Structure 1
Amino acid sequence: MTGDLRPGTIVQYPYLWKWQQERGETEGRKDRPVCVILAVRGSDGLTHLALLAISSRQPGSEQVAIEVPEIECRRGGLSDLKRAWISVSEYNYDIAERSFYLDAGEPALGRFSRSFMMKLASAVSPLFRAGQVRIDRID
C-alpha cells in the first residue's frame, strides 16, 4: 500500500489527536480511517504524508471539520458510517517508508474524488501555512 498513497486515499491509521499529544500521549488510541491530503516525494526519496482524521462523531466547537457527502463515503470505503467528518484543524505527519503505523500489506479502504479533494485542500491550506497543528509520528 505504501506505493499507492496519494491524495484522496483512505487508509486505517492510529491517528494521534492534538489533545492526546498535549496530555503526553504518544500513540493513537485506535485505528481509524484517515485521508491522505498530501503525499510528497522528498529529495531524500521518501514519501512525506499529511493525514487527516475521519470521524463518525460530530466535531466539537474547538475543531474545524467538513462533513463527508454520502457519495464520497461510498467512494472512500466508509459506507458503514451513517455520517462522517474530516477534521481540517490538525493533521498527523508521517513518512510512508519508515512508518511504524502504516501496514504495507493492507489495501486502501477507498479514494475520495478529485473535486472533493480540492475542497479539502482549500480548507487545509491555512493550516499548513500556520504550521502549528502538525503532529509528528516519525519518532
Structure 2
Amino acid sequence: MADDFPRVGQVIDYYYLWKWQDLRGETEGRKKRPSCVVVVAIDRDGKHHLFILPITSKEPAADRQAVLIPETEVRRAKLDTDMPLWVMVDEVNYDILETSYTLEDRAARGQFSPAFSKQIVLAFRSMRDAQALRISKRA
C-alpha cells in the first residue's frame, strides 16, 4: 500500500457497485472503473472507512447530481481525455480498506487538485445533508 493512500481526491480503479445493482442483490461491481475517494475516516482501531464516488463518461440524467471534470483535472487524475467525464455525487460506495475484497490495487492512479477535490466534497456533503445519497455498503 502506498504511504499516501487513501486520501480525499485520489482517483482509483475500483469495482464500483451501482445502487441499482445493489438493489437487485448483486454484490460485485461488474467492472473496474475510475472512482474518487471523497471521505476517509479512521476509527479507533486504525481502520480506514472509505466513501468512494464513481466517475462516468455517460452524461448524468436530469434527476442525478454530478460534477463535470475539467480537462486539466482529467489529465491530473490520469483519466481518458477524449470524452467528457463526471463524478457522480449522489451515489457512493462505502468500504473499509483493511477488509475490502474489492480494492485490489491499493494505490491511486491520479489525484485531483485540492480546489477541485473541495468542490466534489462540498457537492457530496450537500447530497448527504439533503439525505439524498444512494449508498451501497461493501463492508
- AA aligned opposite 1:51: I
What is the alpha-carbon distance in structure 1 between the residues aligned to residue 44 and residue 132 of structure 2? 21
Gapped regions of structure 2 (runs ≥ 5): none
- AA aligned opposite 1:124: F
Equivalent pair of 1:49/1:96 in contact (CA under 8 Å): yes
Q: For residue 52 of structure 1, give the secondary structure of its aligned residue in structure 2.
A: strand
What is the alpha-carbon distance in structure 2 between the residues aligned to residue 71 and residue 79 of structure 1? 11
Q: Percent identity over the alignment?
A: 39
Q: For residue 49 of structure 1, give the secondary structure of its aligned residue in structure 2.
A: strand
Instruction: Quote the offset at 1:55 in angstroms.
Output: 0.6
Aligned length: 137
TM-score, structure 2 as length reference: 0.90
1:107 corresponding residue in structure 2: 107
Q: Deviations over 1:51-104 (max 9, x none)?
A: 000011111233211110000001111034521000011100001111101124
1:44 corresponding residue in structure 2: 45
TM-score, structure 1 as length reference: 0.90
Gapped regions of structure 1 (runs ≥ 5): none
What is the alpha-carbon distance in structure 1 between the residues aligned to residue 138 and residue 111 of structure 2? 23
Equivalent pair of 2:92/2:133 in contact (CA under 8 Å): no
Q: Aligned-residue CA RMSD in angstroms?
A: 1.7
1:95 corresponding residue in structure 2: 96
User: Does 2:56 match 1:55?
Assistant: yes
1:76 corresponding residue in structure 2: 77
2:6 corresponding residue in structure 1: 5
Q: Which runs of structure 1 show a deviation greater than 3 angstroms over 4 or more consecutive aligned residues? A: none
- AA aligned opposite 2:86: W
- AA aligned opposite 1:108: A
Equivalent pair of 1:8/1:37 in contact (CA under 8 Å): yes
Instruction: Quote the offset at 1:134 in angstroms.
Output: 1.7
What is the alpha-carbon distance in structure 2 between the residues aligned to residue 33 and residue 64 of structure 1? 17
After alignment, is 41-50 or 77-86 more displaced? Answer: 77-86
Equivalent pair of 2:71/2:81 in contact (CA under 8 Å): no
Instruction: Quote the offset at 1:19 in angstroms.
Output: 1.1
